[in-house]
Chain A
Amino acid sequence: MTAHEISEFLAPIRHEFPDQRSLILPALRFAQEEQGWLPPEAMAAVAEATGYSQAYVESVASFYDRLYTEPVGRRVISVCTTLSCMLRGSDELLAHVAANIGTNGEGTSADGMFTLQRAECLGACDRAPCLQVDSDDQQGPLTHDDADAIIGALRADGAPTRYDR
């Protein structure tokens, strides 16, 4: 992702923000769409496109859970483990998903296809236990078979062309 591409993405929304610093978060989200995470070059490109320092951009990025400054798999699976979900079996769901993709708890599968992470309340407690793939709609309530089916379908689909996390 180049600074130029980021600038082009920002062009139509620039006028919405009297202070251009506000563009950093949208720019980071956009930069992340390409590789699914933010390698240093992507953050440097955001810095260039927004006029803020690279360290500043990384500082902002690292504050937020859904901006990844370390590589992650082609699909990020978030299993909510906060109270409502815990009461309905989220820990077991997490363990099950981990077993399916071959990670020991949170982590990235050996083939780089999945990153599994425990998430804090996803705002879908009515669907507990639930998971979310990238920032797609939250899915649940899930039996372990449901989870297997979701993972199977993701495997079959391969990697998305843009990542929205």
Chain B
Amino acid sequence: MSEPDEAPVIITINGQAVEARKGAMLVDAAKAVGVEIPVFCYEPRLGKPIGACRMCLVEVEGMRGLQTACSTPVARDMVVNTTSDQVKDAQNGVLELLLANHPLDCPVCDKGGECPLQDRTFQFGPGETRILEPKNHFPKPLDLSPLVALDRERCIACFRCVRFSEDVAEDGQLTFHERGDSTEIATFSGEPYEGRFTGNTIDLCPVGALTSNPYRFVSRPWDIKNAPSICAGCSVGCNLEITERDGEIKRVTGRPDPNMAVEEGWICDRGRWAFPALTAGDRLVMPEIVDQVGRRHVRIERAVGDAGAILRRSGIRVAFLLGTPVTVEDGFLALELSHLLDDAPVARLGVSDDGLGPLRALPGAQMHDMDGADVIVMVGGDPSSQQPVTELRLRKARRNGARVAMVGPRPTALDGNTAEALRTVPGRLGDAMDVVAERLLGSSRAIVLWDECDLAAEPVAADALARLVASTPGARAIELAADVSGPGLRALGIPATGVLEQIEAGEVDVLITVKADPTTGPGGTRWAAALNQVPTVIALSTHRSPIVDLAAIAIPVLYGLEEAGTLVSMAGRAQRLRPGAIGPEGAAAAWEVLVGLSHRMGQPLPDRTAAQAFDRMAKRFPAFSGLTCTDLGLLGAPIAAGTGGPAAPARRAEGEGLALVVSTPVFGDATAHRSDALDCVREETHLGLCPAEADRLGVSGSTHVRVTTPFASVLLPLVEDHRLHEAGAYLVLGDPASMAATLLPADRGPVCAVISAPVAQEVGA
């Protein structure tokens, strides 16, 4: 839907002259001046109004009968009455009729207390029921999926969920069946409603028809507190709302007041249902130290004290390694601490910046800029699986008329009806630059989405792409960043390289890791060997992992949804996390631990809150200059664009065999694996091959294959898929325990893999 952009006009609402934008819908115009007109079906994020529920009827002078305020555009000199007797009767009437077949089971309904139908009934309803007739009954409540429950008797047929499925997610799975008062929500033949965005239907439902299965009977609205925060699942940076009860996160939803520049209120199911990972069995809840007695639990003061004591020793050589989800404040305080420690090296686990400078210097765009794009080209990547909500924006852009092309080696969920799919030979994105140029030709509002990993692997292509975009008038770029912390840490100048090499050179006595475990990731084998040479590892970690077992001191820290801090999204938007829960008793925010260390070292840093740390940081780093924590507010703000960097020479893939095409689906990562709720949609580690290639390699039909690179050799499940290019082996990373990521070099550079049939007993086991 196009935004009303015309000049304001004067209209009269309930006797008062007010200014409104011509073409805006009456409901919105009224709302802007504080007049509430009740609605159910109206939801502009779903597209044009449909005028179905009839809740919003108002009187407009000169128009016959009542008009639906949701679909009547403002016009000059309109005179509107939203409180006349006739309007009241209409509101009473619609509510009375909505309740005619409603089970009125609010006391046992999960929506009770936060239900628009209930609220509207109190505000605008008749107050008493005149209905003697028996209600229509539907078959009992059922699970639409393990995540979404449906009670059809509560449904008011507002079309919101089915429009979401058809017009936003475009998954075509959730539809109305039957008609009239038999209308019901259903999937095909009762199959589960599966997808990446299904939970949004729960947020959209204005009654208790669609509810969250994991939240079933968990709490009542008066027992809970809600906090607006940011998802730390991927680099999109969706805004969300956290529901807490008794200090624990019980629910995550889209924000009732969405961030229209980012996610528009749509979040993916990973973001919505990953939070149980925070209370998973392997959560690190108490600090551990290793001393003469052995490994034992201590209180956090003791652990930080011990660590501080180590750092105080003179001549000690320290290094920092940052993982995810690490906030900008964490990164800043690591830098601050490093200054106190002879400028100890600080590195992040992630993709090296080499050669990406030219792309990062391009004019950037925010997610919502895609809405008005005429052309969108994705180069590399697979946003549907790695930055999921991006998919919804791309679909919307297509609906708005943009031509969307996906240039890269992977098949994606967008291929076909949304994006023109231009498959490239794995490892040869560069060959497709002509095609990209062709797609950009003549466009004036193009947006190019480029994948950090894929383009880092091909610096020559990155440089070519940067030049193409720079020479296309009006074109802007968005980086599909590989991880949630990269953009923020990069803005602080923290590199992705250095620490490993220093360890290997025997120059590190103490390694402090912050939410980073390199042993299961790229270069894992090399890291593991290197870590053996580090006398002392101090691990700040949310969960148990190999590095925790290796650490002399392990300190539990808070996870994104539990802490305050700032994340920078892939579109360069700084947004604030707000704690939605208190986290384990023995844990603290990573930045707090770092400040604590400075105190124990006798050189206290001044920061008492994440906000103070942010403000101090913003003064020092040009990317954040002019921003304060307060400025970020609820919706965040874009930071300054990168200044770029030199192009880099071509890289050769290491190893032999097939080029490895790597995907890191957020539905498959460690957090997703820790959340039981996501059992039904989790993506598992596997190797994909096109059937012809599998045949050629003699592994066709086998359940597993052995994958060998110069860095590791791992047994992986095999999935044959005819959509895959035969010149590549498609590695999908899931559970870190599979060690599949160790097949990659430590800098995540290009690599080839030899695929072979497993020996018999390997598979049996």
Contact = CB atoms under 8 A, between A and B. Distances in A.
Q: Do A and B bind each other?
A: yes
A57 B172 CA distance: 10
Contacts of B175: 55-56, 58-59
A52 interface: yes
Contacts of A56: 166, 172, 175
Contact of B173 (A40, A43, A53): A53
Given A40-B188, A40-B189, A43-B188, A55 B172 contact: yes
A62 B188 CA distance: 11
A63 interface: yes
A1 to B, nearest CB: 16
Interface residues of A, number: 13
Contact of A63 (B172, B173, B179): B179
A2 interface: no
Contact of A55 (B178, B179, B186): B186
Interface in B643-688: none
A109 interface: no
A54 B188 contact: yes
Nearest to B179: A63
Contacts of B176: 59, 63
Nearest to B170: A53
Contacts of B179: 62-63
B105 to A, nearest CB: 26
B723 interface: no
B177 A54 contact: no
B189 A54 contact: yes
B472 interface: no
Interface residues of B, number: 14
Contact of B172 (A43, A52, A62): A52
Interface hub of B174, B178, B179, B189 (most chain A Cβ within 10 A): B189
A56 B173 CA distance: 7
A50 B166 CA distance: 16
Interface in B160-200: 166, 171-179, 186-189
Nearest to A64: B179
B194 to A, nearest CB: 11
B204 to A, nearest CB: 17
A114 to B, nearest CB: 23
A62 B173 contact: no
Interface string A26-54: 00000000000000100110000000111
Nearest to A54: B188
A56 to B, nearest CB: 5
A132 B310 CA distance: 92
B188 A58 contact: yes
Contact of A58 (B166, B171, B177): B177
Contact of B177 (A40, A44, A53, A62): A62
Contacts of B171: 53
B172 A53 contact: yes
Interface in A2-35: none
A54 B174 CA distance: 10
A129 B49 CA distance: 44
Nearest to A65: B179
A152 to B, nearest CB: 34
Contacts of A54: 188-189
Interface in B138-167: 166
Interface in A45-96: 52-59, 62-63
A53 B174 CA distance: 10
Contacts of B186: 55, 58-59
B191 to A, nearest CB: 8
B190 to A, nearest CB: 9
Contacts of B178: 62-63
B173 A58 contact: no
B181 to A, nearest CB: 14
Contacts of A59: 175-177, 186
Interface in B580-615: none
A54 B188 CA distance: 6
B462 to A, nearest CB: 36
Contacts of A44: 188
Interface hub of A52, A62, A63 (most chain B Cβ within 10 A): A62
Contacts of A40: 188-189
B161 to A, nearest CB: 12
A157 to B, nearest CB: 32
Nearest to B165: A55
A58 B174 CA distance: 11
Nearest to B173: A55
B189 A58 contact: yes
Interface string A96-112: 00000000000000000
Nearest to B180: A63
6 contacts: A53-B172, A56-B175, A58-B177, A59-B175, A59-B176, A63-B179
Interface of B: 166, 171-179, 186-189
Q: Which 7 A-B pairs have CB atoms at the shortest separation, nearest pair first? A: A53-B172, A59-B175, A54-B188, A55-B188, A62-B177, A40-B189, A55-B175
Interface of A: 40, 43-44, 52-59, 62-63
